[in-house]
Amino acid sequence: MSDKQPLDVMGGSKMQRFREWIAAIISLMIITGAFIMIGVSFTYISSPGDEFARVKDLLLFINPLLGVVIGYYFNKVTSDTRAETAETAAKTAVITADQAVQARDAAQAVAETAQADATQAKSSLEELSQWAGQMVEQAPAAAAPGTLSGAAMPSEDFLRLQMQGQIALERARRVLNK
């Protein structure tokens, strides 16, 4: 959105300026007329006749018009301020909503990637668990002490690795069963 005023059917900001000028001219005419009538009324205050009544009637006629002009401008200033504040709040809300949507989309993408990684890790762990199980089962069994067999005695390192392999296999199976 641009920061320019929106254009209406009659030319937008030019038409708005024209309306403001016309309102200002009418207001100045009413205010000038009111001051002239007030000035003239001071000259007729001391006359006891019919002239004072006529000036009083004219002032009673111009007084509501003067009130309308003053009310219009004071109301316009506060209304414009409120409208600008509301417009700023609306723009801020739109920006915040856009940022929230972008953050949600990014979070969804990260969550989908993490889910795919977790699925891949689980399948890899299953394959590794199956392979390790086969390896542990196929390892040559140690001959019992004191027996004579033709098989060579496995070394301590091999037995330690076999034990660690069984422990790792058990841990992997527990993770997979969760």
CB within 8 Å of 122: residues ≥ 6 apart: 176
Look up the domain containing 22 and give its range.
13-140+151-177
- Whether 157 maps to a domain, the answer reads yes
**pLDDT tens across 123-139, in order?**
777 777 777 777 766 66
Q: How many CB atoms lie within 10 A of CB 52?
A: 14
**pLDDT tens across 113-123, in order?**
999 888 887 87
Determine what percent of the chain is predicted with pLDDT higher than 90: 15
- Whether 70 maps to a domain, the answer reads yes
Provide the pLDDT confidence category of residue 9 given band limits of 50, 70 and 90. very low
Judged by DSSP in three states, 105 sits in: helix
Q: What is the DSSP annotation of 33-88?
A: HHHHHHHHHHHHTT--SHHHHHHHHHHHHHHHHHHHHHHHHHHHHHHHHHHHHHHH
- Whether 111 maps to a domain, the answer reads yes
Mean pLDDT for the chain overall? 76
The count of structural domains within the chain is: 1
Q: How would you class 23 by CB atoms within 10 Å of its CB: exposed for 0-12, middle for 13-18, buried for 19 or more?
A: middle
Q: What is the DSSP annotation of 1-34?
A: --SSPPP-TT-THHHHHHHHHHHHHHHHHHHHHH
**pLDDT on residue 174:** 74
The least confident of 25-34, 98-107, 126-135 is 126-135
- Whether 169 maps to a domain, the answer reads yes
**pLDDT on residue 141:** 57
Query: How many Å is the maximal CA-CA distance in the chain?
Result: 151
- Whether 7 maps to a domain, the answer reads no
pLDDT reading at 91 higher than 90: yes
Provide the pLDDT confidence category of residue 178 given band limits of 50, 70 and 90. low
CA 87 to chain centroid? 15
Q: Answer yes or no: pTM beyond 0.85.
A: no
